[in-house]
Structure 1
């Protein structure tokens, strides 16, 4: 029974599928396709966190962000600096402020 996915998966998933006796059909995304699929993966993992509130889903989000940083040749320190700059300029999210409307 064939199942369709058409999504970016962790590198070892095809091996795990083969070990279970099934045959995965895959290709390696590169360039713009990889960029698009990484962006889609961030959204997918964020939705999974939204639904479950499980820390494991945050780990998946971090793994995808790590892959994006590698592609962009940006290190975590640079990303943390950007986070700090935005927090200094506009604040963080710790206070739980919800903007209802602007009149």
Structure 2
């Protein structure tokens, strides 16, 4: 038996059940979920650093959307804030590395 204490995607219990395995789950409040999602974000970013693929980036994005929702924001709010910051400060397209400011 493997023990976890982490947030999982909504269909994971069904997937485990379909595999004929038993499991324990519990539901937490949105406030508690933010802490679990924060930990999950670290996990997924680490996996992205290891694998550098689109699937891991999508996992990071899903967690960001979930965090935004738990904090009272929509996906559109998050995407619009991203665009607002890109318009005011730019993106990361030009690969600029700041080394010193005098």
| TM-score, normalization by structure 1 | 0.80
- In structure 2, the gaps of 5 or more residues are none
- In structure 1, the gaps of 5 or more residues are none
- 1:62-77 aligned at under 5 Å gives the runs 62-77=61-76
1:46 corresponds to which residue? Answer: 45
1:82 corresponds to which residue? Answer: 81
**RMSD of the alignment, in Å?**
2.0
Pairwise CA distance, 1:62: 1.8
Q: Which has the higher contact order (CA 8 A, sep 6+)?
A: 2
Matched residue count = 102
| TM-score, normalization by structure 2 | 0.81
